[in-house]
Amino acid sequence: MLVLVAPGQGAQTPGFLTPWLDLPGAEARLRAWSAAIDLDLVHYGTKADADEIRDTAVAQPLLVAAALLSARQLFPTTDDVVRAVGATAGHSVGELAATALAGVLDDDAALLLVRARGLAMAEAAAVTKTGMSALLGGDPETTLAHLEKLGLTPANVNGAGQIVAAGTLEQLAALAEDKPEGVRRVVALKVAGAFHTSHMAPAVAALEAAASPLTPADPLLPYVSNRDGETVATGADVVARLVGQVANPVRWDLCMETFRARGVTALLELCPGGTLTGIAKRALPGVSTLALKTPDDLDAARALIAEHSSTAE
């Protein structure tokens, strides 16, 4: 059983889309999306520097566009996804890409929604200087108790010994000086706010307004939600969860538990892949993993799909 996943904010690097634009039709697709959402995705994916693409309003649509651009090289239509993929999910903003892959929204609608999401979360992040740091290693219960003592929120519980803390810059500085027992490293993430915490509450109403005109379809394949790792049956519930999720923790650990329960044998991470496959290698031993980083990875991805898709014999 093949799981198709999309990475979250912080996975972007300067110029990461450059090789993808050499593929037939890729640049035209990206320029059409750019026009639809009034954001030059070609520029930001090829020429912008690290600070420019760290901007939440830029990073979020850029990541969803990258995931969909790479996915459409392997699965041109939703029917192609449904035939081959056993479940789909995205980490944080990657959920918007998963929503399109599951047929809940079309690509254009998903990008318009993520554009609104990025703008709303950037505005919320500007109120107070906040950020996020990943904690590697340690006992989860010990780490969670330590974060509570410092006033930090466990914004991402990723599994495989990784929890992401979020809060004010002062709180994160205190964390760097006073790591929880057993934690090997504290790594500041390339994000501009304390996402998936109460700091993002102002963004919920804005995103709800942006989502209200949408007419989502029910998922055509199992869609696994960040909220609780459950599969979601209706398009309306998918969108409602997307709206509320901006101010609530990501439970990627529970998503992976669902993958395991459904019999996952392979996990394919869309561009810019690497983070989720790294977690899966530790949390899902025995599962084949592949990260799409450049078009050079497409042949290996096709081989993985052929071996592990629901139509494979």
Residue 177, burial from CB neighbour count under 10 angstroms (0-12, 13-18, 19+): exposed
∠ at Cα 196 (195, 198), nearest 5°? 95
How far is residue 30's CA from residue 34's CA, in Å, rounded to a whole number?
Answer: 6
Catalytic residue status for 92 = yes
Q: Which residue of the set 196, 199, 225, 308 is catalytic?
A: 196
Q: Which residue of the set 92, 146, 199, 225 is catalytic?
A: 92
Count the Cβ atoms, other than its own, within 10 Å of residue 309: 17
Q: Are 45 and 13 in contact (CB under 8 A)?
A: no
Cα 221 to Cα 35, 101, 108, 266, 294, distances in angstroms: 30, 9, 20, 16, 26
Q: Are 156 and 164 in contact (CB under 8 A)?
A: yes
Angle between helices 56-74 and 26-37 (to 10 degrees): 140
Catalytic residues: 92, 196
